[in-house]
């Protein structure tokens, strides 16, 4: 173990209120593609194009095909050693009367499936829907989410959109609403949930140690959380395969696959 890892582990052993920020890199070794990595294309589209209200308005069928594919992937993969180390670390600290909060940009639910309890999903969830008419939010794990999407979600570049009529896309079941459902995901240009953002902000202002795992730190407001923690002179450790936009702000940088580095830091 190198000296930096020893030093960060010492810090963690006295910490009482730990913030763990995660991005898609934490799920990469489970088989979930990252956004800006080589698996970031679905058909011929960048995920960052499809994750917009404009794309949903222009072609709700295409966007539902994309999200149905991702729901399918996320439901078939398993949490990895990094998710597990984070979940076990939370359990251990809670037993000692301390707090661990996981603020994730991920929508795949893998932290919770690994056993983490205190998870704030900044960008929503693949397994929740929101009605475009009445705003009702529901948990939905049924795959396919509606019969019309069955077998229509292949990621290959030569597959065309099925142009499913909106009446056959997922519809709101609450009372007699019947409105078009959308994934409960925060798309580009959309605001984050105020309550979740407030809780995350509180952790940014009060934590006494911070880990930032598997994120490129380019999407706001999440990108500014760890640099703001570091500004308070609180130790922040970044776990990534490479340097990021934010690396210069942090006291520690552990390069490598997070299943190895995070496990070493937390166990
Ligand atoms: C490993 C690894 C391994 C791989 N081990 N590591 C201020 C300034 C400028 C712009 C803005 C601003 N405030 C807001 C904006 C606009 C915009 C934004 O940030 N734009 C940027 C391009 C600058 N933000 C928004 O629109 C947000 N809304 C908002 O703030 O509203 C108010 C507002 C609006 C407009 C203007 C001003 C204010 C909403 C952002 C919602 C982001 N949504 C997405 C998609 C939806 C989710 C989904 O469909 O799944 O969320 S975008 C996408 O990026 C996704 C991710 O959660 C997010 C972050 O990506 P992440 O996780 O970091 O993935 P990658 O691929 O980028 O990085 C992976 C990393 O892992 C890499 O570093 C690898 O090296 C590493 N890695 N394997 C360790 N094994
Ligand atoms: Zn409704």
Q: Which segments of 68-166 are extended strands (E)?
A: 99-104, 119-121, 124-131, 137-139
CA distance 43 to 40: 10
Mean pLDDT of the chain: 96
Which atom of ligand 1 has the smallest separation from the CA of 258? 5
Asked whether the ipTM of the predicted complex exceeds the cut of 0.90, the reply is yes
pLDDT tens figures, 13-67: 999 999 999 999 999 999 999 988 776 789 999 888 999 999 999 999 999 999 9
What tens digit of pLDDT does each residue of 83-109 get?
Answer: 999 999 999 999 999 999 999 999 999
Chain centre distance of CA 73: 14
Tell me the whole-structure pTM to 2 decimals. 0.97
Residue 211, ligand 1, Cβ within 6 A: no
Nearest by Cα to 163 from 59, 41, 255:
59
Whole-angstrom Cα distance, residue 22 to residue 98? 20
- For ligand 1, is residue 23 a contact (CB within 6 Å)? yes
- What are 111-135's pLDDT values in tens digits? 999 999 999 999 999 999 999 999 9
Is 68 a residue whose pLDDT tops 90? yes
| Letter string b/e over residues 41-66, b meaning 16 or more CB atoms within 10 A of that residue's CB | ebbebebeebbeeebbeebbbbbbbb
- pLDDT greater than 90 at residue 218: yes
Atom of ligand 1 nearest to the CA of 183: 49
Ligand 1: does its nearest atom lie under 6 Å from the Cβ of 216?
A: yes
Tens of pLDDT, residues 139-169? 999 999 999 999 999 999 999 989 999 999 9
pLDDT in tens, 171-186: 999 999 999 999 999 9
Three-class SS state of 253: strand
Mutation to probe ligand 1, out of 35, 107, 125 (largest number of atoms < 8 A from CB): 35
**Residue 139: per-residue pLDDT:** 98
């Amino acid at each position: 173990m190198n000296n930096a890892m020893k030093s960060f582990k010492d810090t963690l052993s006295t910490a009482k209120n730990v913030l763990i920020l995660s991005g898609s890199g934490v799920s990469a070794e489970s088989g979930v593609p990252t956004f800006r990595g080589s698996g970031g294309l679905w058909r011929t589209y960048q995920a960052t194009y499809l994750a917009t209200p404009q794309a949903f308005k222009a072609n709700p069928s295409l966007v539902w095909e994309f999200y149905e594919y991702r729901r399918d992937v996320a439901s078939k993969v398993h949490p990895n050693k990094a998710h597990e180390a984070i979940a076990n670390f939370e359990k251990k600290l809670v037993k000692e009367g301390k707090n661990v909060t996981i603020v994730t940009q991920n929508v795949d639910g893998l932290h919770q499936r690994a056993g983490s309890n205190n998870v704030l999903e900044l960008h929503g969830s693949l397994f929740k829907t929101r009605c475009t008419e009445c705003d009702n939010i529901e948990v939905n794990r049924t795959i396919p989410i509606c019969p019309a999407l069955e077998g229509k979600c292949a990621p290959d570049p030569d597959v065309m959109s099925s142009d499913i009529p909106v009446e056959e896309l997922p519809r709101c079941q609450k009372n007699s609403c019947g409105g078009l459902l959308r994934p409960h995901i925060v798309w580009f240009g959309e605001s984050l949930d105020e309550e979740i953002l407030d809780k995350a902000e509180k952790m940014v202002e009060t934590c006494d140690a911070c880990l930032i795992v598997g994120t490129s730190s380019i999407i706001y407001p999440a990108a500014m959380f760890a640099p703001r923690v570091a500004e308070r002179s609180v130790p922040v450790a970044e776990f990534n395969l490479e340097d990021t936009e934010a690396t210069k702000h942090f006291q520690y940088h552990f390069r490598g696959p997070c299943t190895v580095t995070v496990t070493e830091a937390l166990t």
